[in-house]
Amino acid sequence: MVIMNTILYIGEVQSYLTLLGQRLRYAHQLVRDKRWLYPQYHDNEHTKIKKPDELEREMEDPPENVDKSILDRIQGSMVGMALGDALGAPVEFRPPQYLLVNPVTDLHGGGTWGLNKGQFTDDTSMALCLGSSLIARRGFVPYDQLVRYKWWYKNGYMSSTGKCFDIGMATCDSLLEFQRRQKNFAEKYKISLEQLDFLSDFDLLKKFNVYCSNSGIAGNGALMRLAPVPLFFYRQPIAAIEFSGCSGQITHGDQKVYDACRYYGALIVATLHGESKDHLLSEKFYQTHKAWFGNQRLHKDIQMISEGSFKRSGGLMDGIRGKGYIVNALEAALWAFWSDENSFEKGALSAVNLGDDADTTAAIYGQLAGAYYTYKNLPQKWLDHVYAKNFIQCLSKWITYEGSKWYSEHVSSATKKETK
């Protein structure tokens, strides 16, 4: 909890975020030396994209060693998410009644999408887009995040099959809206189409409205890809939590989405700060971390979850549901974590066996549980089959490395200057 000493008091949060915002302008530089952060193709016509397991061959580790215990949590969260996703993919959309009779007990291929054992779906693909953006931009640039989601949707960037084979309706609508806005923006500011996906001018980017969704759009698609944000910014909880909310709202505009992402982001941040499971799942979590939330209250539906509504021992029989509504999804993932008896395997299977949006409930569970139990404690029999595991592990190293650099360059020096 050493880092907490640098955190400012509640009254100073607003001015701190303003200062941080000014400094963030420097985080918009594009990193172009890592080709694996950008779409690459096997052919000149760009019909066959290189998949993550092909990109991992050209990746290199960061130039300096990173903190091993933090890396273990970050890799645990990223791979835990991919595991939950792959575990639930074969039964996605199956109703709970089906899973009561045919429970998932192990990792399999086939089923809903006909994937190979260990291949992941949209949840992990979008999270890899988000992680790549944080590394490529050395910070939080929502415009670039949307560009990468668009690359995934249109070209299969970061997909486990090379194609986008599954996209939620809200995400699809927002990405189509983003493309419309990009086109209008290019005409208005005379930007060439080649340049459009690679804008780095801070003043220009400020003019682009990245909120491509509307109030009332509250699907779990925002939460399923969240992890890279709290993992990258955990050293500065106020920024990590505000960015968590914003990362969801650019495609899912409802207040409940913003607050579900802020709350779940805060839980992942607290996990990286070494907090115990009792603290994480305490009904007082929000109260004891109020400063992290900029003192902004949570939406009442999210507040109810933060106060323990997920603690229902009957699970499905007690009304826990793995549905696409973000409030259900958040509650279900936390129920799985609360009732897993400290076993990732048990928790991930419980999340999947709720049925409905099984892969997403388990991917959300995996982000937090993986960070808490750490990579080395994930089930080895499943780890052997995670698609593009080396890519995810190496990307996690870069998240750790660039997150640390971001903190020392943009936050610790800002704090020092402010307190001089």
Comparing every residue's Cβ against Mg ion, the nearest one is 121
Q: Flag whether 43 is marked binding.
A: no
Distance separating alpha carbons of residues 292 and 3, to the nearest angstrom: 13
Rounded to a whole number of angstroms, the minimum distance from the CB of residue 212 to Mg ion is: 20
Rounded to a whole number of angstroms, the minimum distance from the CB of residue 152 to Mg ion is: 12
Tokens representing 39 are 């779409």
CB nearer to Mg ion: give 123 or 242. 123
CB nearer to Mg ion: give 56 or 359. 359
Q: Flag whether 203 is marked binding.
A: no
Q: Which residue has the tokens 């650099």?
A: 405
Rounded to a whole number of angstroms, the minimum distance from the CB of residue 65 to Mg ion is: 34
CB nearer to Mg ion: give 115 or 270. 115
Chain positions contacting Mg ion, by CB under 5 A: 121-123, 359
CB nearer to Mg ion: give 77 or 160. 160
Rounded to a whole number of angstroms, the minimum distance from the CB of residue 89 to Mg ion is: 7
Q: Flag whether 374 is marked binding.
A: no
Rounded to a whole number of angstroms, the minimum distance from the CB of residue 279 to Mg ion is: 30
Q: Flag whether 359 is marked binding.
A: yes
Rounded to a whole number of angstroms, the minimum distance from the CB of residue 305 to Mg ion is: 22
Q: Flag whether 123 is marked binding.
A: yes
CB nearer to Mg ion: give 96 or 324. 324
CB nearer to Mg ion: give 275 or 357. 357
Binding-site sequence positions: 121-123, 357, 359-360
Query: What are the binding residues for Mg(2+)?
Result: 121-123, 357, 359-360
